[in-house]
Amino acid sequence: MNVTFEELRRVKHALPSGSISKLASEFNMEEEAVRNYFGAGHYKNGPLAEFHLESGYGGGVVHLEDTTIFDRALEIIEAHKVVQQ
């Protein structure tokens, strides 16, 4: 899946408080790894996202090989919106 770097960061910042910890727990990962995923970075045990920071709209393009964390983050955001309504 390709997403702009800007969109990846927007999703991270839209997560309710405590979500990084929740995602880390659900996926049996360290919180640092989840944070790095949303920064299209590398974790000490290897890459979490293959990324191509090409100049362009939205800070470039990030290629996510595995969208499981991204998809779950979107679910958390949607659930949080419903609770707030």
Can you list the alpha helix ranges (DSSP code H) found in 18-67? 19-26, 31-38
Which is more confident, 32 or 15? 15
SS3 of residue 2 by DSSP:
strand
Which is more confident, 47 or 6? 6
pLDDT at 30: 87
pLDDT at 75: 97
Contact 5, 59 (CB under 8 A): yes
Give the confidence band of 72 by pLDDT, cuts at 50, 70, 90.
very high
Query: Which residue(s) pair with 42 in the sheet?
Result: 47
Task: Please state the rounded mean pLDDT for residues 2-27.
Answer: 92
Tokens describing residue 4: 């702009």
pLDDT at 83: 76
Mean model confidence pLDDT for the chain: 82
